[in-house]
Each structure stands twice: as structure tokens, then as C-alpha cells.
Amino acid sequence: MDKIVAAFPKGRLFEQTIDIFFNSGILPEKIQPQSRKLILETDKFKFLLVRAKDVPTYVEYGVADIGVAGDDVLLESEADVYRPIDLGIGACNIVVAGLPESKKLYESNPTSIRVSTKYPKIAKSFFMEKGIETQIIELYGSIELAPLLGLSDFIVDIVETGRTLKENGLIVIDHIRPSSAKLIVNRASYKTKSKKLNSIFTKIENFLNKKIEVV
């Protein structure tokens, strides 16, 4: 039987993704990544456990039929994928942050600033719309270190609980946009495997609607 291949993000979205697929009745049991195995299989599915940032690539190129990715990752990747369902998980905000003393600089309409981020495209286009030239310093993690070490006055990053900013003495200076996780689908699979995929969409939507009623 032709299995549906799903790319699941390792990291902060993993457990909530598994919960949705399990509670929707798609997964017969909660998959546990106990080992370093990166491909897990059930009767009907093959699950690829990939880095969150890589999910859109696997789906766009059709290696996976579906995947789960946050708006932050999707905006940055610009992958051409279909996005039928907002899963309502991984809610966070994409923001500009910095040390409290940098707020004045930000509000003084600077023509050019230096920004550290793991979201270079999002940052660049946000500041371009404001007419601010940016020198982007791309980092891959612990972005909050940049203003503390004088690497840049500003960072563009996601804020979920706000704890990382707070514990490092940083504040939100501007809001870019909210972000939440989406179910994404390969455009060709959407046509060729429509029956199976539509049944998955219905199960997930039914579960999400039930969740909303309970809340």
C-alpha cells in the first residue's frame, strides 16, 4: 500500500504534533523517538523526523506528502506548499527585541541598523518596508546573546513565553507578526493522494473543532 509520508519537526513542536495526530485518530499510538532512528513506520504512514527548518523543503520536493511547520519557518523558507489547516499549536510572536536602551535608537527613525537573527528574510523584508537599511548577521541559535555582546543592537526572533528575553534583560521593541504551526501539503500529493489526504484533514479538523468547543 502506498503510505502517506509525513515530515514531523523535532524540537518544540514535536510533542504537540504527535498529540494532534494521535488524538485525531490518525496515529494508532503516540510515537516515541526513543532512539536516533529518523524514519518511523506504521501500517499507513511513514514519519520522517526532521529539523523544524527543513520540513518545508521535504514537503516542497515531495519527499514527504505532508508536514508540520510554523509560520516563522514557512515565511523564511518561501516553500511553495499548500497550507490547508492552522493547527493552533506553537503559537508565538515574531518580534524585534533588544536592550531597553536600544528602544530610543529604534524610535529615532534610524536609516540603517544591524540585526542578528535566524530569520534573515523575514527581518530584511520587515525593515525594507519601513525604509530602514539592515545589515543582517545570521545566527543559528541563542540569538539573545547578540545585543548583550554588542554584536548588534537588535534581534529578530520568536517569543513564546518571553522567558528567554526576560532572563537576558531584553525587551520587545516592535512586533512583526504572530506565528502558529500549519499542516502543509505537497501540491502534487494533494491531487494524486487526495482521498487519503482529505480523510486526514477531516480527522484533524474534527479534533480541532472539538477542542475549541471544550475550551
Q: Which amino acid is at 138?
A: E
Q: Are 147 and 98 in contact (CB under 8 A)?
A: yes
Which grid coordinates are listed for 129?
518596508
Out of 80, 86, 128, 142, the residue judged to bind ligand PRP by CB under 6 A = 142
* Contact status: 157 vs ligand PRP (CB under 6 A): yes
Nearer to ligand PRP, 26 or 89 (CB): 89
Out of 7, 159, 173, 185, the residue judged to bind ligand PRP by CB under 6 A = 159
* Contact status: 66 vs ligand PRP (CB under 6 A): no
Q: How far is the CB of 21 from ligand PRP (least distance, A)?
A: 22
* 3-state secondary structure labels for all residues of 144-209: CHHHHHCCCCEEEEEECCCHHHHHCCCEEEEEEEEECEEEEECHHHHHHCHHHHHHHHHHHHHHHH
Q: How far is the CB of 52 from ligand PRP (least distance, A)?
A: 8
With CB atoms as reference, the residue minimizing the distance to ligand PRP is 141
Listed in order, strand segments (DSSP E) in 99-159 are: 112-117, 133-138, 154-159
Number of residues that bind ligand PRP (CB under 6 A): 13
Write out the residues near ligand PRP by the rule CB under 6 A.
Answer: 12, 141-144, 157-164
